[in-house]
Structure 1
Amino acid sequence: MTLIPKITTYHFVPDKYGPELLLDIGRIETLKNYVLDNTLHQLSFYEIIFITAGTGTFVLDENKISINPRTIIFTSPGQLRRWEIKTQVKGYALFFSIDFLHLFFSDELFLYRLQYFHQYSHPAGMQIGKTSFGKCLELLHDIEREVEQIQNDSNHLIRAILYQLLIILNRYYAGEYNIQRDTYVHPDFYRFRSLLEQKYLENQTVEAYTKMLNVSPGFFNKICRQFSGLSAQQMIHQKLISEIKKQLYQNKTAKEICYEFGFSDPSNFNRFFKKHTNTTPRQYRKRNIK
């Protein structure tokens, strides 16, 4: 019998500082029951982690990110996470709800324009130079000071600082992995990324998304390859595999997951999973869940 671990989900506390503030910042070394807990957990909000000291590994959806000074890690809602710490880790954890920015911007696709969130083909972490990291820390200190002395107009000032930080990080990330750095490429690509996060269970074909976006399959694949390096179908399949792996960590059978994801029968589900992972769902669960 395999013991399936319970996955803790952390939710945002909007009234922590009295007035609703959908953002928070904390020192990693003071958040031991949350940040440095080595059990499997997930968040219902966005987080950016800034490491100033310490070593170890951060596991995000089974991808391992090395922890070292000046490491920055980006996590999106729903991703499975676990800390594996070797030496004491210090730094900052910046959390925010998607609504914190939506209340400020008319652009609901803004977070999908940032290369490091909802990423399919590049790592969710990076290590940057001392000067660049110092610039990020200055902005974090500004946010920290404002949160500590919250005022009626603090949310406006904090959004402005966060916006600057997110854009700077997008430039660093694009430079690190040699990808498109502009936050404005083709809007249909960002709409697809947003739709895929919301509708992957009921829509798993290229045709379904071309109809929703009202574009041709050829154009659709062109913008996907241009801005992600993957075809539209590859992006859909990567999203499905990522979500299936999360379900395998839950106390669900492969048969239950199969029908939840719309496969006609377990054998088709097993073939699909093995094609994209070189292992069966059963083998994956046995290997990854201790």
Structure 2
Amino acid sequence: MASIPPIKTYHFLPFKYGSELLLDLGRIETLKNYVLDSTLHQLSFYEIIFIREGSGTLALDENKVPIHPRTIIFTSPGQVRRWEIEEEVKGYTLFFEKDFLHLFFSDEFFLYRFQYFHQYSHPAEMQIDETSFGKCLQLLQEIEQEFGQIQNDSNHMIRSLLYQLLIILNRYYAGVYHVPGDTYVHADFYRFRSLLEKRFLQDQTVEAYTRMLNISPGFLNKICRQFSGLSAQQMIHHKLVSEIKKQLHQNKSAKEICYELGFSDPSNFNRFFKKFANVTPQQYRKSIK
């Protein structure tokens, strides 16, 4: 098998405006580098893309996100992406480091409170009506104006505008996909989501997470069903299947993925994947080619 070229990673530039600022905003049609990059790449930061015009797709991990006007796409750090543009794309891209909000709110689970980030059981995009999209554009333009005249307190103004935007987007997302929109639900659910992102390679049983959280399996399942519609084990399985598809897209062999994700042997790995994807890993890889 031919060697696989390393995936390009784009990192945030915190001192672009002189003093450290962990958020940036740009118009898609004028930005260079990673925006609209047609090669396989990933970001080390969060990004929200607002499409005003254009068509094509954004391949995001194992999913192909269609690009249409009034589409909003949410990406989390480490997701593998590739743009496939058919008609020129115009709009905004808003990107930021976790610490831009995390340090201010003193809440390590802050970004897990929003349904659209670190999502693997619902889509990473939504299309909204013109009035709702207009409200988003208004906030983006206010952020853009602030970047045009950076002052000592600009980071506070921009953070407050971003916070409003994230809340509005969470409400829209909850309405589109019929998921809970309340950002202040049980803290143990957010802890579980955070642990799952960090530990799913090592820990794939409900019991492992309940030990770390010091709660009972019954209680964890209850809050998971309440706030995601899935059991804790289903959330673990969704994360695993999503990761397998992502790695199959990167041309890794099924055997390599099998042992990396902790399966005892390839036959168990194949059975697990087929149960949730309805095809074998080999059939899935063939379909994406």
Shorter chain as denominator, the TM-score bin is over 0.9
Structure 1 residue 228 corresponds to structure 2 residue 261: no
Cα distance in 1 for partners of 2:85, 2:250 equals: 24
Q: Distance in 2 between matches of 1:55 and 1:131?
A: 21
Give the unaligned 5+ runs of structure 2: none
C-alpha distance in 2 between matches for 1:275 and 1:176: 28
Q: Give distance in 1, aligned partners of 2:253 and 2:52.
A: 41
Question: Which piece of structure 1 moves more, 94-103 or 74-83?
Answer: 74-83
Tell me by how many angstroms 1:177 deviates: 1.6
Structure 2 residue aligned with 1:126? 126
Structural mapping, 1:107-146, within 5 Å: 107-146=107-146
After superposition, the Cα gap between the structure-2 partners of 1:59 and 1:217, relative to the gap in structure 1 and judged at 3 Å, is same
- Map of 1:160 onto structure 2: 160
2:93 matches 1:93: yes
Q: Is the 8 A contact 2:61 2:249 kept in 1?
A: no
Matched, 1:25 2:25: yes
Moved more, 170-179 or 272-281: 272-281
Shift of the alpha carbon at 1:51?
Answer: 0.8
Percentage identity across paired residues of the two chains: 78
Please state if 1:13 is matched with 2:20. Answer: no
TM superposition shift of 1:32: 4.6
Whole-Å Cα distance in 2 between the matches of residues 222 and 94 of structure 1? 35
C-alpha distance in 1, partners of 2:32/2:180? 36
Unaligned stretches of 5+ residues in structure 1: none
Query: What does the per-residue CA deviation read over 1:177-226, in whole Å, with 9 as the maximum and x for residues that have no partner?
Result: 22211111111111100000011111110001111112211121111111
Higher mean C-alpha displacement, 198-207 vs 237-246: 237-246
Q: How far 1:5 moved relative to its partner? A: 5.9
Letter in 2 for 1:83: W
State the number of aligned residues. Answer: 289
Match in the other structure for 1:45: 45
Question: Could you give the per-residue CA deviations for residues 216-274 of structure 1, whole angstroms, max 9, x where no partner exists?
Answer: 11121111111111111111011112222222334643333222211222222222222
Query: Helix, strand or coil: the match of 2:135?
Result: helix
Counterpart residue identity of residue 169, structure 2: L
TM-score by length of 1: 0.93
d(CA) in 1 for partners of 2:135, 2:276? 40
Could you tell me which amino acid in structure 1 is paired with residue 37 of structure 2? D
CA distance in 1, matches of 2:246, 2:55: 26
Q: Which letter does structure 2 place at the counterpart of 1:278? A: N
**2:242 equivalent in structure 1:** 242
| Counterpart check, 1:269 vs 2:239 | no
Cross-structure match for 2:288:
288
2:178 corresponding residue in structure 1: 178
Distance apart, 1:131 and its partner CA:
1.7
Q: Which amino acid aligns with 2:72?
A: I
Structure of greater relative contact order (alpha carbons < 8 Å, 6+ residues apart): 1
For 2:133 and 2:123, locate their aligned partners in 1 and report how far apart those are by CA, in whole Å: 18
The CA distance in 1 between the partners of 2:198 and 2:74, in whole Å, is: 20
Question: 2:129 and 2:207 mapped to 1: Cα distance?
Answer: 43
- 1:150 maps to a residue whose letter is I
Q: CA RMSD in A?
A: 1.8
